[in-house]
A and B are shown apart, each in its own frame.
Chain A
Amino acid sequence: MKSDIELIDKNGKRLDGRKPDELRPIKIEAGPLYRADGSCYIEWGGNKILAAVYGPREALPRHIQHPLKAIVNARYNMASFSVEDRKRPGPDRRSTEISKVISEALERVILTEQFPRATIDINVEVLDAEAGTRCAGLTAAAVALADAGIPMRDIPVACAAGKIAGQVVLDLGKEEDNYGEADLPVAIAPRTEEIILLQMDGHLTVKEFDEALDLAIKGCHTVSELQKKALLKRYGVL
């Protein structure tokens, strides 16, 4: 299966021409939606993802309310036409898991104690998918939260690293995700470099893990600058 695809050629170039430590092209736009309190549209490689925030608003039904802080409720969903084999509409186990890890990551940076008994609803909708949707989704959700004026200790950002053809690389693309040996999505709070999302599947030695984590964090910082640029473009002058 993977033997007839050369993921990295002898010059170190990947299938799409990238170097091992190069990100796919990324475009971020803050505030594209009219109704949402905050929103963000991101294109990351072939990914097209829309994120929207509603809140803080009263959490209902009342029994789900937390007396001291806001509930952070992120919902990750893939549109049925976003993948090659049409996906049946509705949440599946994978989207439920991704929704959970994204909610937990965002909860770490949002100043939830300012809004007891409230909920902050974050919707991440994948419109066109090409590997790394949870990282792009979280990155867009972060911009949408800032766009909504939700107080945060930091603007979280995510990026993945992985291993293909025995080499650690940044930001896996479609074939690399399918035929590679490891995938490591990471989200950080860039100011303090706290890791708020970390998942891994595949096979890595401890040394490779260190390399991949380093690379992913570097990638996160690059993307973090793009987030801030997008926000300044909307609220200031660029």
Chain B
Amino acid sequence: MNSTVLSSIKKDYIYKLAKQNKRIDGRAFDEYRKITIETNLIKKAEGSAKVKLGNTQVLAGIKMDVGEPYPDSPNSGVLTTTAELIPLASPDFEAGPPDKDSIELARVVDRGIRESEVIDLEKLCIEEGEKVWIVFVDIHVLDYDGNLFDASSLAALAALATAKVPAERFELGEDYPLPVRNPPVSCTFSKFNNAIVVDPNLDEEMVTEARLTVATDREGNIRAMQKGLSGSFKVDEVRKIIKTSIDTGVQIRKILEESIKNGKKN
């Protein structure tokens, strides 16, 4: 409904700029837009974080509940991630049940958290086989100007790292900080006309042929990857992307850790 039409003039212009190693908003190919992270803003949530990545804004909320574990992991807490592309955020988002894009977004962010073992799920066991903590990560996209993967991943991690387990409410003792560790950093790349850029904005996403998200940890190991769209990557393009993820990941991790530190003070 009412999709924004991309003009071929804009597409040609972006391609022309790329040939000169330029981007439509003046950034370098491996440059991120400005990132700001605010934590603990939603009082009803156990944890929350709002990320601004350029004009893109994503809010993640953490809610916790006590419930039954999965039968095949009786002493493990449960982590579940959902994402909503609410109509608020773009003229092209429609109200309704999660579509392919929001499901892919949720699952990719979830994989990053899960495979990095950000939460030690065994620590969330209350009574083996009977009661465990369930952690709900809900990603709410508020303003869409490209690169929801990275913004959502940062928001989810910052929210988790500053969340409190609501033990008091369930009469299980005192509230305590949710134990998290080793947050991965997600870097998303966009390929168009043989140029590969990091952190695509909306205009760049509209001309993207192939997309690759790579999540890396502090040691420079790969924790999750997702390729999207119908274009393709050459093998050494993928290798280069991994290297850039690790390098860029260092700066982004600094911003993330700074915001977590500030959030914990509150």
A and B in direct contact, judged by CB atoms within 8 A: yes
Residues of A bordering B, CB below 8 Å = 33-37, 46, 48, 50, 52, 54, 57-58, 60, 75, 77, 79-86, 89-91, 121, 123, 125, 127-130
Q: Mark B24-63, 1 if CB is under 8 A from A, else 0.
A: 0000000000000000011111001000000101010111
Residue of A nearest to B91 (CB): A54
Q: Tell me, in angstroms, the Cα distance from A89 to B96 when the chains sit together.
A: 10
B44 contacts A81, C-beta separation under 8 Å: yes
The complex places the Cα of A57 from the Cα of B87 at a distance, in Å, of 14
A-contacting residues of B (Cβ < 8 Å)?
1-2, 41-45, 48, 55, 57, 59, 61-63, 65, 82, 84, 86-91, 95, 97-98, 136, 138, 140, 142-145, 169
A83-B44 in contact (CB<8A): yes
Known: A34-B143, A35-B144. A82 touches B44 (CB 8 A): yes
Chain B residues positioned under 8 Å from A77 (CB to CB): 86, 95
A86's nearest neighbour on chain B, judged by CB, is: B63
Which residues from A are CB-within-8-Å of B145?
A: 34-35
Interchain CA distance A60-B2 in the complex, whole Å: 8
Asked if B44 and A90 make an inter-chain contact with CB atoms under 8 angstroms apart, the answer reads: no
- Chain A residues closer than 8 Å to B86, beta-carbon distance: 77, 123, 125
> A123 to B87, Cβ gap below 8 A?
yes
Q: Quick check: B136 and A86 within 8 Å, CB to CB? A: yes
Cβ of A81 and Cβ of B90 under 8 Å apart? no
**A75 cross-chain contacts in B, Cβ below 8 A:** 87, 95
| Residue of B55, B57, B59, B63 ringed by the most chain A CB atoms within 10 A | B63
The distance in angstroms between the C-alpha atoms of A75 and B43, with both chains bound, is 23
B2 touches A125 (CB 8 A): no
Asked whether, in the complex, the Cβ of A81 is within 8 Å of the Cβ of B42, the reply is yes
Measured in the bound complex, the distance between the Cα atoms of B44 and A128 in whole Å is 6
Measured between beta carbons, the chain A residues less than 8 angstroms from B1 are 60
Contacts of A48 in B (CB 8 A): 41-42
Quick check: B142 and A50 within 8 Å, CB to CB? yes
Interchain Cβ contacts under 8 Å between A and B, 18 examples? A33-B88, A35-B91, A35-B143, A48-B41, A48-B42, A50-B142, A57-B91, A80-B63, A81-B45, A81-B138, A85-B65, A123-B88, A127-B61, A128-B41, A128-B43, A129-B44, A130-B43, A130-B44
Going nearest first, the 8 A-B pairs with the smallest beta carbon separation are: A81-B61, A86-B63, A34-B55, A81-B45, A123-B88, A52-B88, A128-B42, A80-B138
Measured CA separation A80–B57 after assembly (Å): 18
Assembly CA distance A196 to B242 (angstroms) = 57
CB distance from A127 to the nearest CB of B (A): 6
CA gap between A48 and B140 in the complex, in Å: 14
Bound complex: CA A52 to CA B142 (Å): 10
Q: Which residue of A lies closest to B97 (CB)?
A: A90
Inter-chain contacts of A81 with B (CB < 8 A): 42, 44-45, 48, 61-63, 136, 138, 140
Across-interface contacts of A86 in B (CB, < 8 A) = 63, 65, 136, 138
Which residues from B are CB-within-8-Å of A80?
Answer: 61, 63, 82, 136, 138
- Please name the residue on chain A nearest to B95 by beta carbon: A75
Chain A residues with CB under 8 Å of B43's CB are 46, 128, 130
15 new A-B contacts at CB < 8 Å, known A80-B61, A127-B59: A35-B55, A35-B144, A50-B142, A54-B91, A75-B87, A81-B63, A81-B140, A82-B45, A84-B44, A84-B169, A90-B97, A123-B86, A125-B88, A125-B142, A127-B140
Interchain CA distance A83-B63 in the complex, whole Å: 9
Chain B residues with Cβ below 8 Å from A35 are 55, 89-91, 143-145
Query: Nearest Cβ distance between residue A128 and chain B, in whole angstroms?
Result: 5
With both chains docked as a complex, state the minimum distance between the C-beta of B201 and any C-beta of chain A, in angstroms: 11
